[in-house]
Structure 1
Amino acid sequence: MYDLTISQSIDVQDMAVLYGFSLFETFLINSSGRAFLLDRHVDRLLDSMSFFNFNIDIAKSRLIEAVNRYIEENSIRDKTVRLTVTCGNRVKSIKSSVIITTRDNPYRGAEACEKGFKLTVSGYVRDANSIIVRHKTANYLENYLVGQQALQSGFDDAIFVNTSGEVTETSKSNIFFVSKGILCTPGTGCGLLPGIIREWVLQRAQGMGISCMEGCYTIQDLQQADEVFVTNSVMGIMPVYAIDTVKIYNSAAGSCTKALKTRYTAELERA
């Protein structure tokens, strides 16, 4: 069993430094100091560690305990916490590092939460067959650059399409739309990270009697939709009011978006 200690630094020969080879999870801490959906985040992290054959053996319970202890010792409330596990370096006999950090939630009380997002379509094409696209790795430069380019151009984020012209995700979130009463989202085969909040939305929507469909969709499908919203573990559910020059709504998010957002907010506070 791996001797779990929280690292304060990383060896310069760690594969995380050399090649961006590390995995991470980011999650919200509510006003009571509880991490939302921590169990699922740790599950995904461990699944990816197994997929990439990380040379460590960390029990799920110990990771959860470490995160909860960090939250308690630092009196964290209404912030985000990031749990990172580096690959280490077997050749150099460098062990993996476990790092926990925190930062303010940039969407808490932000104007964007009321107004919604305006998205653009990125000129960078997503490879649906990439071996890393379905895992939350720190190899994030493409996403970062695309997101920054969108911000500099007056948008909140950018949508990736794959080599077949199918919508995948944005630089930092999954995407949903409502058409003819059906909640739709790109399937994982399109080339995207299956987010924890994406999973939550699909499960809760079905429980609320909302028909859901995963499939292959185009930008035109989004622009012709009745509602569009994006999701991730920091902002939760964010309505989209425009894609490039096409308005999705003028003054208020749609009923499906509102219902899911209300449910999300309630569960976040009850976590």
Structure 2
Amino acid sequence: MIVPIVIHAGAEVAVFPGDDRILLGEGLFETLRVVEGKPCYPRHHWFRLMQSADMLGIDVDLPYCEWVTHLEHSLRKANLETGGVKVLLGAGSAPRGLLTKGEQPRLVLTPFSCAVNTKPIRLISAPWLRDAANPVYRHKSVNYLEAIMARRYAETAGADDALFFNLENTAMETTIANLFLISGDTLYTPSLSSGVLPGIIRGRILELGKEQGIACLETELTKNQLEQADALFLCNALQGIRAVQSWDGFTYNTSHPLAATVTELLSKDTCHERDSR
């Protein structure tokens, strides 16, 4: 059974021992938004974490009820009403070597305060291409050096974030968010086969769109399609939806009515709340 470590305001320091596989990049994380003292989409985050842990061979016994208990305990301990909580799952201690298997995975929860940034974002294409077949991109792993380098490149170029493209030169995602394109009355987003992370909000937008009769297509998005788009927006679990002001010099409508509709649907989403189903 996992014994969670909760960090808040420096009250505790979580130190992964030097033999933990997370120091080789063998670890996962989830970042949940917190509203009115409750974690948002806890079941969705738990399912993705457990699915990735299983795929990576991380032997973790964490039933959903215990997951929720750990989250709620961390938020009470931090007395947090609004913000987020980051959850790290390390693969556990193991002898040296790439093929050794970790034991006793560690779960570290860090509640934090933050505000939602609604300012439209400026994007620039990352200067290198990703391989869509790389399985790392399909998991929310702690391997974030590439994203850090891309974000620094964007900042140096006067942008806010970098948009990745794959070897086929179709759009993927930014360093921290999934991408949506609006053309007419249709939503488009890169398919999972493009090499993107199956984002929690991305998935809910597709599900809500289907329920509400909004045309939503998962497909390959070319640079020409991005150039001709009416609007672009990004989404992630912490920030929700954020309009794109520009990408590589092309500008977009930052107050598109369809984006506003999707934002409203998310604000009323019942799956947003904690549940015990």
1:81 paired residue among 77, 85, 90:
85
How has the CA–CA distance of structure 1 residues 259 and 59 changed in structure 2, closer, same or farther, with 3 Å as cutoff?
same
1:10 paired residue among 13, 16, 27:
16
2:251 is the counterpart of 1:247 = yes
Which residues in structure 2 correspond to 1:68-107 (within 5 Å)? 68-91=72-95, 94-105=103-114, 107=115
Aligned equivalents of 1:3, 1:166: Cα separation in 2: 40
Secondary structure, counterpart of 1:261 in structure 2? helix
Aligned equivalents of 1:55, 1:269: Cα separation in 2: 28
Aligned equivalents of 2:128, 2:21: Cα separation in 1: 26
2:148 paired residue among 144, 148, 151:
144
2:204 paired residue among 184, 195, 200:
200
Q: Retained in 2: the 8 A contact 1:165–1:218?
A: yes
2:23 is the counterpart of 1:21 = no
Question: In percent, how many aligned pairs have the same letter?
Answer: 25
CA RMSD of aligned residues (A): 1.8
Aligned equivalents of 2:173, 2:258: Cα separation in 1: 20
Task: Compute the displacement of 1:268 (Å).
Answer: 8.2
Q: Retained in 2: the 8 A contact 1:176–1:230?
A: yes
Q: Retained in 2: the 8 A contact 1:80–1:104?
A: yes
Aligned equivalents of 2:184, 2:78: Cα separation in 1: 47
Aligned residues: 261
Secondary structure, counterpart of 1:132 in structure 2? helix
Aligned equivalents of 1:189, 1:173: Cα separation in 2: 16
Task: Compute the displacement of 1:3 (Å).
Answer: 4.1
> Which deviations, in whole Å up to 9, do the C-alpha atoms of 1:79-112 show, x marking residues without a partner?
110111101133377521110002222x43x4xx
Query: Please, which moves more after superposition, 56-65 or 4-13?
Result: 4-13
Q: Retained in 1: the 8 A contact 2:192–2:198?
A: yes
Look up the match of 1:231.
235
Aligned equivalents of 1:98, 1:3: Cα separation in 2: 7
Which residues in structure 2 correspond to 1:111-130 (within 5 Å)? 113=118, 115-130=119-134
Which residues in structure 2 correspond to 1:255-270 (within 5 Å)? 255-267=257-269
> Which deviations, in whole Å up to 9, do the C-alpha atoms of 1:139-196 show, x marking residues without a partner?
1110111012212321111110000111111111100011132110000001110100
Aligned equivalents of 1:262, 1:121: Cα separation in 2: 29
Aligned equivalents of 2:233, 2:47: Cα separation in 1: 25
Q: Retained in 2: the 8 A contact 1:134–1:193?
A: yes
TM-score by length of 1: 0.91
Task: Compute the displacement of 1:267 (Å).
Answer: 3.7
Secondary structure, counterpart of 1:41 in structure 2? helix
Q: Retained in 1: the 8 A contact 2:41–2:272?
A: no
Task: Compute the displacement of 1:265 (Å).
Answer: 2.9
Task: Compute the displacement of 1:263 (Å).
Answer: 2.3
Unaligned runs of 5+ in 2: 7-13, 97-101
Task: Compute the displacement of 1:75 (Å).
Answer: 1.3
Secondary structure, counterpart of 2:188 in structure 1? strand
TM-score by length of 2: 0.89
Q: 2:20 corresponds to which letter in structure 1? A: D
Structure 1 segments of 4+ aligned residues over 6 angstroms from their partners: none
Q: 2:57 corresponds to which letter in structure 1? A: N
2:83 is the counterpart of 1:67 = no
Secondary structure, counterpart of 1:55 in structure 2? coil
Q: 1:25 corresponds to which letter in structure 2? A: E
